[in-house]
Amino acid sequence: MMKNMGTIDRVIRGVGALVVAGLYFAGILSGTIAIALGVVGIIFLATSLVGTCPAYLPFKLSTKGK
């Protein structure tokens, strides 16, 4: 797959995933909201590590510089 995420996009998603994990392990998040944000956090972490966002593909978007 072609990478379509720039460095800033990847860092923001990675930090977001870490914030969600921190809030969960601190006991601030619980229940249904914790599950929903956990799924989003896992998706953010995975796309951040891979460098490709599947949601960008149909629209041919890219935050990666030339």
pLDDT digits (tens, 9 = 90+) for 18-46: 999 999 999 999 999 999 999 999 999 99
Q: Number of folded domains in the chain?
A: 1
Residue with tokens 């949601």: 55
- Is 22 domain-assigned? yes
Domain that holds residue 48: 7-59
Average confidence score pLDDT of the chain: 94
Retrieve residue 21's tokens. 């994990």
Q: Is the pLDDT confidence value at 66 over 80?
A: no
Contacts for 20-24: CB closer than 8 Å, 24+ residues apart: 20/44
| Amino acid code (one letter) for 56 | Y
pLDDT for position 65: 83
Q: pTM for the full model?
A: 0.86
Are 9 and 26 in contact, with CB atoms under 8 Å apart?
A: no
- Is 43 domain-assigned? yes
pLDDT for position 25: 95
